Chain A
Amino acid sequence: MNSMETIRLGCGAGFSSDRLGPAIDLAQRGALDYLVFECIGERTMAFGHRDRMLDSTRGYNPQLRARMRGVLAHCHANGTKIVTNMGVANPRAAALLVIEIARELGLTGLKVACVEGDDVTHLIGPDTEFMDHPGAVKDVGLRMVGANVYLGVEALLPALQAGADVVIAGRIADPALFLSPLVHRFGWALDDWTALGRGTLAGHLMECGMQITGGYFADPGFKDVPRLADCGFPIAEVSADGSFVITKLDDTGGCVTPATVKEQLLYEVHDPAAYLTPDVTANFRGVSVTQVGPDRVRLTGADGSVRPEKLKVTIGFDGGFLGEGGVSYAGPNARARAELAANVVRERLTRINQLGGDLRIDLVGLNALHQTAETPVSDAADIRLHVALRSTDRDDIDTMLWEVESLLCCGPAGGGGYRGQVTPCVVTHSCLIARDQVSPTFEMFVA
């Protein structure tokens, strides 16, 4: 392609439950070359495996149908291709669902590629050792639900080269979802570490959606964000040399400024000079961040060096259940009553019911999120007792919820507003595997 040309990438989701409206807006009016949906986290990956075990036709992102119904016709009309990891633990079923939706919408001939090979459950055994702490799979004592390797550009490129309109994969390293179209269109070599480092920066900044356009940023009076409720998803205009501008649609809410960009620059980054992906060791240390227009920030100066030798794998285990129950206390002496309620619950659960599992009791309004960091400095007049128990024994969870609810008549004065819920849990660990143990493939389906 012409070296002066830019490629327009949009982000239609930065996590599994991200908003749909702004993605449809981008598909409709963004004049995009590619619309990328990044929808997997360590938690959602394991939930995908669990869903597929219960029903072999599931295991993909639960919002896939709604998202495709919303954007597919616009993308088709505007020549925008879609790249996504919404296949989660079942890319094949996801691709077939997209085909079904394309047919419903009359998009005959739409090409949907399903990318597989990230599921490496068969390579993990009891003696597989973890990468970040001592221990092996057999030490966890929980049932493994699945293991996925982080794949990179090499997994997506063949599908793009074969002309797919929609590429749907599972565990792809988040920045690679954005880097792959750049490599494909600009023809970057897979050992052009500088170009790959720059494209990875673009992907890293885009992959959390609104976290770069004003979402997750506002702090009233300090960092004000206009029309946060109407915040738009980001667009990256990438040049052939890998430099790029981050922006958004003009009439959407939010903002793109050096401050929003910098906060995202090191989000989930450890050493800024060595951000590891399957494709490159990216270096963000020399990056320049310049406002070049309203809601337009230009990024230059990222670099890269040779990619890591091994690939990272996330292993998911069935962690049983998380039970959470709560009761509120307000008005005079609320703190003392809530603290008494906490003591009563602790005594009932440990001394009388002799429950196992991990228990935590928080006083929301006094100190909950930061309970382990600091002692509370002031009394509050509106406090919620929050009791959390994680256990593989569902009966223990139900006993805990019953005990918390019983405070309504058996606990301190004036308690009210009991709520309780049970959520299934996963536990994850990471390990490394050799590249040659992995061989991604793709299959094309046509609507």
Chain B
Amino acid sequence: MTRKTIHDIAHARAGDKGNTSNISVWVYDPKDYPLLKRQLTAERIKQEFPKLFTGTVTRYEMDDLHGLNFVMLDALEGGVNTSLNLDSHGKSFSYLLLGLPIEA
């Protein structure tokens, strides 16, 4: 069995406001939504990236549209005008979530 990642079943976009990052994740096929909802939890994201997402992680569910929105406080190494990350907006963090393994 090949190992699946969230990237195989979903797409995502990250945005920033101050030092807060949000990442929305949307399944391509509504059938995969329960799987995504079960395995991509706020607790898991905090556990996977403890050094990056140091603040509270909150999950909002968009059941009708089959998507999840994660809001991460203190997640942008200070924010766009302070961070020394080349990607100071944290735009590429969407692909951090998409790279996580998922078990079908």
Tell which of A30-38, A112-120, A281-289 binds the partner.
A281-289
Cβ of A266 < 8 Å from any Cβ of B? yes
The reply to whether A360 and B81 form a contact with Cβ atoms under 8 Å apart is no
Q: Take A358-B84, A374-B49 as given contacts and tell me if A270 and B20 are in contact as well, using a CB distance cutoff of 8 Å.
A: yes
The reply to whether B64 and A286 form a contact with Cβ atoms under 8 Å apart is yes
Contacts of A222 in B (CB 8 A): 7, 11
CA distance A359 to B85 in the complex (A): 10
The reply to whether A269 and B81 form a contact with Cβ atoms under 8 Å apart is no
Most chain A CB inside 10 Å of its own CB: which residue of B7, B20, B84: B84
- Within the complex, the shortest CB–CB distance from A213 to chain B, in Å, comes to 14
Cβ of A228 < 8 Å from any Cβ of B? no
- Within the complex, the shortest CB–CB distance from A37 to chain B, in Å, comes to 20
The reply to whether B65 and A271 form a contact with Cβ atoms under 8 Å apart is no
CA distance A2 to B26 in the complex (A): 38
Partner of B62, one of A132, A259, A272: A272
Interface size on A, residues (CB 8 A): 50
Interface size on B, residues (CB 8 A): 37
Partner of B11, one of A259, A273, A322, A360: A259
CA distance A272 to B24 in the complex (A): 11
Q: Take A42-B80, A262-B67, A267-B15 as given contacts and tell me if A360 and B62 are in contact as well, using a CB distance cutoff of 8 Å.
A: no
Contacts of B17 in A (CB 8 A): 268, 270
Contacts of B79 in A (CB 8 A): 428
Cβ of B86 < 8 Å from any Cβ of A? yes
Cβ of B18 < 8 Å from any Cβ of A? yes
Cβ of A303 < 8 Å from any Cβ of B? no
Q: Which of B5-62 contact A (CB under 8 A)?
A: 7, 11-13, 15-20, 22, 24, 26, 28, 49, 51-52, 58, 60, 62
The reply to whether B26 and A262 form a contact with Cβ atoms under 8 Å apart is yes
Tell which of A17-25, A189-197, A365-373 binds the partner.
A365-373
CA distance A267 to B17 in the complex (A): 10
Q: Take A132-B18, A265-B24, A368-B86 as given contacts and tell me if A219 and B11 are in contact as well, using a CB distance cutoff of 8 Å.
A: yes
The reply to whether B26 and A259 form a contact with Cβ atoms under 8 Å apart is yes
The reply to whether A263 and B24 form a contact with Cβ atoms under 8 Å apart is yes
Contacts of A322 in B (CB 8 A): 84
Look across to chain B and name the residue whose beta carbon is closest to the beta carbon of A316.
Answer: B81
Q: Mark A372-413, 1 if CB is under 8 A from B, else 0.
A: 111000000000001011100000000000000000000000
The reply to whether B11 and A268 form a contact with Cβ atoms under 8 Å apart is no
Q: Mark B64-95, 1 if CB is under 8 A from A, else 0.
A: 11010101000001011110111100001100
Contacts of A262 in B (CB 8 A): 24, 26, 65, 67
Cβ of A344 < 8 Å from any Cβ of B? no
Look across to chain A and name the residue whose beta carbon is closest to the beta carbon of B66.
Answer: A262
Q: Take A358-B84, A372-B52 as given contacts and tell me if A266 and B11 are in contact as well, using a CB distance cutoff of 8 Å.
A: no
Q: Take A43-B80, A222-B11, A270-B20 as given contacts and tell me if A364 and B86 are in contact as well, using a CB distance cutoff of 8 Å.
A: yes
The reply to whether A266 and B51 form a contact with Cβ atoms under 8 Å apart is no
Q: Mark A64-92, 1 if CB is under 8 A from B, else 0.
A: 00000000000000000000000000000
The reply to whether B11 and A263 form a contact with Cβ atoms under 8 Å apart is yes
Partner of B16, one of A268, A288, A360, A368: A268
CA distance A254 to B49 in the complex (A): 34
Cβ of A110 < 8 Å from any Cβ of B? no
Look across to chain B and name the residue whose beta carbon is closest to the beta carbon of A287.
Answer: B65
Q: Take A223-B11, A267-B15, A271-B60 as given contacts and tell me if A390 and B84 are in contact as well, using a CB distance cutoff of 8 Å.
A: yes
Q: Take A43-B80, A270-B22 as given contacts and tell me if A372 and B71 are in contact as well, using a CB distance cutoff of 8 Å.
A: no
Cβ of A362 < 8 Å from any Cβ of B? yes
The reply to whether A266 and B67 form a contact with Cβ atoms under 8 Å apart is yes
- Within the complex, the shortest CB–CB distance from B63 to chain A, in Å, comes to 9
The reply to whether A370 and B84 form a contact with Cβ atoms under 8 Å apart is no
The reply to whether A369 and B24 form a contact with Cβ atoms under 8 Å apart is no
Cβ of A427 < 8 Å from any Cβ of B? yes
Cβ of A206 < 8 Å from any Cβ of B? no
Partner of A425, one of B22, B81, B86: B81
Cβ of A305 < 8 Å from any Cβ of B? no
Most chain B CB inside 10 Å of its own CB: which residue of A263, A264, A359, A362: A263
25 sample A-B contacts, Cβ–Cβ < 8 Å, listed by A number:
A132-B19, A219-B11, A223-B11, A263-B12, A263-B24, A266-B69, A267-B15, A270-B60, A272-B69, A285-B62, A287-B64, A289-B65, A319-B82, A369-B85, A370-B52, A370-B93, A371-B85, A372-B51, A372-B52, A373-B49, A373-B51, A373-B93, A390-B82, A425-B81, A427-B81
Binding site for B on A (CB under 8 A): 42-43, 46, 132-133, 216, 219, 222-223, 259, 262-273, 285-289, 319, 322, 358-360, 362, 364, 368-374, 386, 388-390, 425-428, 430
Apart from the given pairs A270-B71, A319-B82, A359-B84, 6 other A-B contacts in the complex at a CB distance below 8 Å: A270-B17, A272-B62, A362-B85, A390-B82, A390-B84, A427-B82
